[in-house]
Chains A and B, each alone.
Chain A
């Protein structure tokens, strides 16, 4: 089945540690996105990528990094510079060049600092 797979579902990070969240899609979508969701707040865009080997900062990129070496994959690294990383992270993909540019989401990764 086509879709987006995020892993792991739960992730625990120690202070000062970098962790990487995985996002893979088999929808042949050009664009991929990472969002952060905190309780009671809306979705906030961290990074997005329109094409392989290119990505742009979103609204809250500080303390995060990404890569887009393959069309199917858009991993997010939460670095030690991110002071408050505990949140729910969501990955999405779509084809923005189409009028029917429906977005699809993975099931999310819950990151907790311990």
Chain B
């Protein structure tokens, strides 16, 4: 059974720091892995999707990597800003049929001015 874990659960950093969020999964037979951002009281916004054949994806100050063999993905945020404060979630389709998404509990990020 696929399980997704995100560490740390919460993170507080000063503005300008580069930071890494972690996502681990137990079954490496994944189609892809997706990172989302959620602001308080809002829906989820898709940040990046990495297909199983890819090693990384970049969007602006965000870079997501994928290592299937070790069951890990990292989301790197460069030069963090207060506007980056949000909860970041990762999800993978369940192994085998790709019908449902398996979710981590998220990392709550606070970037302090």
Contacts and interface: CB of A to CB of B under 8 A. Distances in A.
Nearest to B101: A103
Nearest to A94: B101
Interface residues of B, number: 26
A99 B52 contact: yes
A106 B51 contact: no
A59 to B, nearest CB: 9
B101 A90 contact: no
B34 A107 contact: no
A99 B100 contact: no
A50 B45 CA distance: 22
Interface of B: 31-32, 34, 36, 41-46, 49, 51-53, 89, 91, 93, 97-101, 103-106
Interface string A80-108: 00000000101010101101111111111
A103 B91 CA distance: 10
Contacts of B99: 31, 48, 50, 96
A96 B103 contact: no
Contact of B103 (A6, A42, A107): A42
